[in-house]
A and B are shown apart, each in its own frame.
Chain A
Amino acid sequence: MNQNVNKQALFNYVLALGDDAITMGHRLSEWCRNAPFLEEDLAIGNVALDFIGRAQMFYQYAAELDDQGRSEDDLAFLRDCRDFRNLLIYELPKGDFAFTMVRQMIVDLFNMEFLEQLTKSSDERLSAIAGKCIKESRYHLRRSHDWVLRLGDGTEESHERAQRALVDIWGYTPELFMVDESEQQLVQAGIAVDRAALMSVWDNRVGQILTEAKLQKPEDSWKVEGGRRGVHTEHLGHMLSELQFLQRAYPGLQW
């Protein structure tokens, strides 16, 4: 494999992981001062902080690999929608508390498996980041799992809201396991995680949690994808216009 192609593929990969983390962190941070009770404002803020911190670590690494010499903040604040590579599930608006928590359980389960594999990456930097993040994800999953139980097996209203959230999210989950060609090369080089291979474990565990929460696993009747190619929902552009406002309105300054 050509050394440059490899470096470019690695840059794209690390950048995409940064984009996953910043979009998730942004959505979670929207709950701060808007949560159902004060303790939850703090708890959800902690999870948001972990994801933004994760974005910072991935972007720092990506910035070191970038041949255009961009900084971590340039990568977060100065790329437009088409250049963002996050999986779509992360950019979806926060919705109600049921939507947020059902999505969180789904991505926390995914991240547990994903990060576990990433700790085995032949790229030491990625392996080190994964080692740090997996501890956070363990805590995130404990929380989101508990919440899905409470909502699924709480009141009639909470059950309905959780079930609706699950149906609305379900078609975004297959993308978690789709691997493109550039990523496939990195999988073969022992750098990237083969996400396709995580699907059955994830599917099993989601099934267990949903049964425990008295929720119905939706039919696999629809799916959308495109995030890794920069094809997004219309929601991302609005998120970026908010996220990037200052850097765009006052370009080239220190903050």
Chain B
Amino acid sequence: MTEFKMNEAELEKVFQKRIDDEQKIEPKDWMPEKYRKNLIRQISQHAHSEVIGMQPEGNWITRAPTLRRKMVLLAKVQDEGGHGLYLYSSAETLGISREEMVEALQTGAAKYASIFNYPTLTWADVGAIGWLVDGAAIVNQISLQRTSYGPYARAMVRVCKEESFHQRQGYESLMVLAFGNAEQKQMAQDALDRWWWPSLMMFGPHDADSAHSSQSMKWKIKRKSNDELRQSFVDQSVPQAEYLGLKIPDSNLKWNEERGHYDFGEIDWDEFLRVINGDGMCNRDRISHHVKVHNEGQWVRDAMRAYEEKKRARELKKSA
């Protein structure tokens, strides 16, 4: 047994050395069980966020105001679904099935980005999600392109390209509103008022309060801390809001010459916890919708399987 322990410890040492040397970990490589679990948690959570995120945006597909906007939005929601698919595949390389992940989502064992528990009430919300929510996601995902697990890093490269495109589209559609008539401008401002703080919450708790952060940083699953990422997001978003002539709803927001960054106010952490723990406007709707659609699709998936089996049996018979 001592020998086994030695081996385990040695393996971990070699593993950490590879991480420190910036080598990617691949599915067949040895990895500590906690590293595997931590990654499954993070990647599946990311996949679920993409899939649940289809709901608030999909909410506007049938009401988009022009044919072009409708096509752009539909294509965007499809892209999110596609991201969900490659992220589920990345997680599957770690030895968990998509069925298990979906079940964890539906029972509440796995989380998804809490921001999707806020409702999309007006057309401006679709633009605001593109600009702010995708913008915040990109800040996070750019750093994840260098994450230590190879399949996740490669998925992020592809996801980032598409997300940047979505962010530009979202910003552009909000620009039309911000430069439109008084009602449209008000619609854009209202969307910013409602989405700003939840977007900052997307980066998670302060570094000191983050449960998974320090181990994830050591394993280079995470490359930058929550607070660092949040700061980059604020710094990039302030001039974008100024260009739109919209006001970020934070009276403490101010350029700090010394730090070379914007100072900003404190997040309402009570709200953060409330929404994460299930009391956001849409938490129940998001999961019950997912469950309902999944259950309604059961007979279709059964039919598909039954047909494939019959077909295989017929082919076997023919070749026999």
Q: Which residues of A contact B (CB under 8 A)?
A: 22, 26, 29-30, 32-42, 45-46, 48-49, 52-53, 55-56, 59, 72-73, 76-77, 96-97, 149-151, 153-155, 157-158, 161, 242-243, 245-247, 250, 253-255
Q: Which residues of A contact B64 (CB under 8 A)?
A: 246
Asked whether, in the complex, the Cβ of A53 is within 8 Å of the Cβ of B307, the reply is no
Q: Which of A72, A73, A246 contacts B63 (CB 8 A)?
A: A246
Chain B 163-191 residues near chain A, CB threshold 8 A? 173, 176-177, 180-181, 183-184
Asked whether, in the complex, the Cβ of A154 is within 8 Å of the Cβ of B302, the reply is yes
Report if A49-B75 is in contact (Cβ < 8 Å); known contacts: A243-B62, A246-B63.
Answer: yes
Report if A29-B62 is in contact (Cβ < 8 Å); known contacts: A49-B71, A52-B71, A253-B184.
Answer: yes
Q: Which of A45, A52, A96, A250 contacts B67 (CB 8 A)?
A: A52
Asked whether, in the complex, the Cβ of B63 is within 8 Å of the Cβ of A32, the reply is no
Cα(A237)–Cα(B88), bound, Å: 40
Asked whether, in the complex, the Cβ of A158 is within 8 Å of the Cβ of B65, the reply is no
Q: Which residues of B contact A (CB under 8 A)?
A: 51, 54-55, 58, 61-71, 74-75, 77-78, 81-82, 84-85, 88, 123, 173, 176-177, 180-181, 183-184, 289, 293, 296-304, 306-307, 310
Report if A56-B67 is in contact (Cβ < 8 Å); known contacts: A29-B74, A33-B293, A49-B74.
Answer: yes
Quote the shortest CB–CB distance from A105 to chain B (angstroms). 15
Q: Which residues of B contact A55 (CB under 8 A)?
A: 67
Asked whether, in the complex, the Cβ of A154 is within 8 Å of the Cβ of B58, the reply is no
Asked whether, in the complex, the Cβ of B123 is within 8 Å of the Cβ of A246, the reply is yes
Cα(A45)–Cα(B70), bound, Å: 12
At the interface, is chain B mostly helix, strand, loop or mixed? helix
Q: Which of A22, A77, A255 contacts B123 (CB 8 A)?
A: A255
Cα(A237)–Cα(B52), bound, Å: 30
Asked whether, in the complex, the Cβ of B62 is within 8 Å of the Cβ of A26, the reply is yes
Q: Which residues of B contact A45 (CB under 8 A)?
A: 74-75, 77-78, 81
Tally of A-B residue pairs with Cβ under 8 A? 128
Report if A155-B67 is in contact (Cβ < 8 Å); known contacts: A38-B81, A41-B78, A254-B176.
Answer: no
A242 nearest in chain B by CB position:
B62
Report if A73-B67 is in contact (Cβ < 8 Å); known contacts: A26-B62, A151-B303, A254-B180.
Answer: yes
Asked whether, in the complex, the Cβ of B300 is within 8 Å of the Cβ of A97, the reply is yes
Q: Which of B51, B65, B184, B304 contacts A77 (CB 8 A)?
A: B65
Cα(A38)–Cα(B78), bound, Å: 9
Q: Which residues of A contact B297 (CB under 8 A)?
A: 35-37, 40, 97
Quote the shortest CB–CB distance from B138 to chain A (angstroms). 22
Quote the shortest CB–CB distance from A246 to chain B (angstroms). 4
Quote the shortest CB–CB distance from B78 to chain A (angstroms). 4
Q: Which residues of A contact B306 (CB under 8 A)?
A: 154-155, 158
Q: Which residues of A contact B75 (CB under 8 A)?
A: 45, 49
A75 nearest in chain B by CB position:
B67
Asked whether, in the complex, the Cβ of A246 is within 8 Å of the Cβ of B74, the reply is no
Asked whether, in the complex, the Cβ of A253 is within 8 Å of the Cβ of B78, the reply is no
Quote the shortest CB–CB distance from B60 to chain A (angstroms). 9
Quote the shortest CB–CB distance from B315 to chain A (angstroms). 14
25 interchain pairs (CB within 8 A)? A22-B67, A29-B70, A32-B74, A35-B297, A36-B293, A36-B297, A38-B88, A40-B297, A42-B81, A42-B82, A48-B74, A49-B78, A53-B71, A59-B67, A77-B66, A97-B297, A97-B300, A150-B303, A154-B304, A158-B302, A161-B299, A246-B123, A254-B176, A255-B66, A255-B173
Q: Which residues of B contact A151 (CB under 8 A)?
A: 300, 303
Quote the shortest CB–CB distance from B125 to chain A (angstroms). 12
Cα(A186)–Cα(B75), bound, Å: 36
Q: Which of B68, B88, B310 contacts A56 (CB 8 A)?
A: B68
Taking A37-B300, A59-B67, A158-B299 as given, write out 18 further A-B residue pairs in contact, using a Cβ cutoff of 8 Å, ordered by the A residue number.
Answer: A29-B62, A32-B61, A35-B297, A36-B300, A42-B82, A45-B74, A48-B74, A52-B67, A56-B67, A77-B66, A97-B297, A153-B307, A154-B303, A154-B306, A242-B62, A246-B63, A254-B180, A255-B123
